[in-house]
Structure 1
């Protein structure tokens, strides 16, 4: 049996108290890598010991197999447990024995019709919806099916207590063309749009940055397509760094051999496409390389936290080639999960950020203008020739920068800059002068052209 950690025991106590208060459908939030399956197994053990039936739902075979092993090790009464993939159980819901408790793993998927068909079949059951991210990419949130939420300890707290490894985060100094990213029906970006956005290569070269930042560490790489994954794998191998690629089309026996080779530390780099996100155990990952963007906070946290399993003296490395942190913040940022899971919550509104349009600078009058304003190769301000930068030719053979290095200097400057201090907590709509726009641009790391465009939009002049 597993010995529960204090924060896991605390989750179970809070769940029990919530049930005693009359709540029937409860969201249980706890960060990735914190053993939610162990918590579910212990709850299932206690439930089945009282001769009550448990139904466990998950949507991926690899995660299901791993969870079933955990339930068995925790001495859950097997005759009183039904565990399966939702895709399978939803087709035979009429034949399922009625459970007193339903456990749902990765429950941010639970609004899907397949889950709802099962939940509606058993209206009297208690439902526990476990997830690291109780916020969905769509408009509808989990408050539609839950009447309470229990928020686990934060990533910062768990790191301070040694349950997660500390990490260093590296990010590109430039953006790729986010205008080209388009969302699919799943809420994440489509493969074709990521192909177009990433073709500009406005991120550091993956192998070069790995060797500079995390050389010799075991790493998992997240790629957006099979073609991209194979290319990255080949580049690592050409550099003398052992790497293998796995994806949904990789035969099961081959995939298992590759993963085991990685676990045995006989393989340095494991490149994957949409496999090692939810639940799959890879304990010896020291570095994560995000070679793709995502529109999903759940995926971002699964990607970035894959390497945070702790061990003595370990400091994990997160390499973000796609500027995902600009959309979601950093993994250990504080988040208001209670507000985030409410449909229509204002907390889900995205902050104003720097413009994504291309900017050109005139060598004659030094005006900074939108590239779309340039007609016939002439500056719209002075009429002299102006060159519009060709984004497709920009090669981001740049070194990624570590989180906090540039911000530390900006904050130190802000302490001695009255204007910058005054705009720290303001929104863009509250900025009234050119000096405030300039300070805001510097504080948030926006491009210099942002000041000119916002000043023109607001009718502000120097």
Structure 2
């Protein structure tokens, strides 16, 4: 964008740059300056500010919009409609929007950039390992008017035990790495931060009500590695520069592909020999595939006809599978000799992952599970324990049954605890 802006101002044409977050604005202005953009011909500001000053702004010949999946909002539209003769370029890494309306309502065409997998191979993004520990009852999730899940339904769907699981799995999979946790409410964020701090892992909670000075202080401490874990609610998704994030933990289910990619890609800033870790506690991968799965972005920006229901044939299908032993989620193409590419244990390859409606099965399973718990004293004893408090094979088996973990989890945990002798 800065180079396009420089070439535009070199020809004495005026440029307007729109963004909706101050942190991104400050970074952009600094980049434009370093690139040699003529500041006298540049109007750069937050859309919330410029929309109030629209009648006083000089007419630009070029408008650059960052994070442009927001561009259908009234504030953006007010500015664009004021300058109908300007060329408008929309930039976004996630062009799809939650809900019916898509960018084809305003854009003439989409120019698709290089894929995540290609950018990773070229070193512009870090490679990653993806793990998923399913701590959510998806049948309880309800959508709001924007198409994403409501906070109330997320609170009901996400098990309270997730907070302890988040810490134990961080210690198992990403110990000592700088991590950002994405969750859905201030209460859940505070609970997760407290869970980390109780195990002497430094963590802070940040949300929209956090004062700017305090938030800036926490971000600086995180960059200086004085804080290991940032637990946030809807903040560190777009644009904020956090270069040393090596691990992302998702504790927030979403129906938004844009949010999912913003969550998961927060840890993909490259560094020599870096392998990022993504831990998905809410099984978002079952809806969206892996971050670097192939996507048809041209199809994604087309507005859905309100009078037509999408057929199941249009639902995403991904050739990915999950390891029963280490819980890694991998592409089927990466599996060689029927072994997990992460841990080396046997793995079954499924041709595709597709969401299905199995509510009746889940209800029957839940009734059966309740009856088993009532009849099984060991299961009752482990119901309120964390994984680190399990000391026998029977306890591990009961815990796995209670949480619907697969057999491989018991075997893996037993090996880690020394209950099974290694060869």
Taking structure 1 as the reference length, the TM-score comes to 0.68
- Please give the alpha-carbon distance, in whole angstroms, between the structure 1 residues aligned to 2:9 and 2:36: 9
Of 291, 296, 301, the match for 2:251: 291
Partner of 1:310, secondary structure, is coil
Structure 2 equivalent of residue 312 of structure 1: 272
Structure 2 equivalent of residue 27 of structure 1: none
1:182 Cα deviation from its structure 2 partner: 2.3
* TM alignment of 1:7-406, pairs within 5 A: 40-172=1-133, 174=134, 176-199=136-159, 201=161, 205-344=165-304, 349-351=314-316, 353-357=355-359, 359=361, 370=364, 387=371
Question: Considering only CA atoms, is the larger Rg found in Structure 1 or Structure 2?
Answer: 1
Give the direction of change, closer, same or farther, for the CA distance of 1:97–1:357 in structure 2 (3 Å limit).
Answer: same
Can you list the C-alpha shifts for 1:206-245, whole angstroms capped at 9, x where unaligned? 0000000000111111111111111111111110111111
Structure 1 equivalent of residue 400 of structure 2: none
Partner of 1:195, secondary structure, is helix
- Please give the alpha-carbon distance, in whole angstroms, between the structure 2 residues aligned to 1:396 and 1:143: 51
Taking structure 2 as the reference length, the TM-score comes to 0.74
- Please give the alpha-carbon distance, in whole angstroms, between the structure 1 residues aligned to 2:155 and 2:106: 36
Partner of 2:88, secondary structure, is strand
Can you list the C-alpha shifts for 1:351-401, whole angstroms capped at 9, x where unaligned? 5523252537xxxxxxxx8479x8xx9xxxxxxxx94989xx9779679xx
- Please give the alpha-carbon distance, in whole angstroms, between the structure 2 residues aligned to 1:254 and 1:176: 32
1:151 Cα deviation from its structure 2 partner: 0.7
Partner of 1:123, secondary structure, is coil
- Please give the alpha-carbon distance, in whole angstroms, between the structure 2 residues aligned to 1:341 and 1:234: 40
- Please give the alpha-carbon distance, in whole angstroms, between the structure 1 residues aligned to 2:358 and 2:151: 20
Can you list the C-alpha shifts for 1:253-285, whole angstroms capped at 9, x where unaligned? 111111011111121111111111000000011
Partner of 1:148, secondary structure, is coil
Whether the 8 Å contact between 2:183 and 2:250 is mirrored in structure 1 is: yes
Whether the 8 Å contact between 2:135 and 2:159 is mirrored in structure 1 is: no
Can you list the C-alpha shifts for 1:27-66, whole angstroms capped at 9, x where unaligned? xxxxxxxxxxxxx111111111111111111112222222
Paired residues, what number? 339
Partner of 1:205, secondary structure, is helix
1:204 Cα deviation from its structure 2 partner: 7.2
Give the direction of change, closer, same or farther, for the CA distance of 1:63–1:394 in structure 2 (3 Å limit).
Answer: farther
* TM alignment of 1:422-461, pairs within 5 A: none
Partner of 1:151, secondary structure, is coil
- Please give the alpha-carbon distance, in whole angstroms, between the structure 2 residues aligned to 1:87 and 1:396: 48
- Please give the alpha-carbon distance, in whole angstroms, between the structure 1 residues aligned to 2:250 and 2:360: 24
- Please give the alpha-carbon distance, in whole angstroms, between the structure 2 residues aligned to 1:175 and 1:68: 42
For structure 2, list consecutive stretches of 5 or more residues without a partner in the other structure.
317-353, 375-381, 389-405, 407-423
Partner of 2:181, secondary structure, is strand
Whether the 8 Å contact between 2:163 and 2:192 is mirrored in structure 1 is: no
Whether the 8 Å contact between 2:163 and 2:191 is mirrored in structure 1 is: no
Give the direction of change, closer, same or farther, for the CA distance of 1:280–1:111 in structure 2 (3 Å limit).
Answer: same
Give the direction of change, closer, same or farther, for the CA distance of 1:175–1:217 in structure 2 (3 Å limit).
Answer: closer
- Please give the alpha-carbon distance, in whole angstroms, between the structure 1 residues aligned to 2:201 and 2:162: 24
1:327 Cα deviation from its structure 2 partner: 0.9
Can you list the C-alpha shifts for 1:94-147, whole angstroms capped at 9, x where unaligned? 221111111111111111111111111111111111011111111111111111
Can you list the C-alpha shifts for 1:308-359, whole angstroms capped at 9, x where unaligned? 1111111000000111111111100010101111123879943552325253
For structure 1, list consecutive stretches of 5 or more residues without a partner in the other structure.
1-39, 361-368, 378-385, 400-444, 446-462
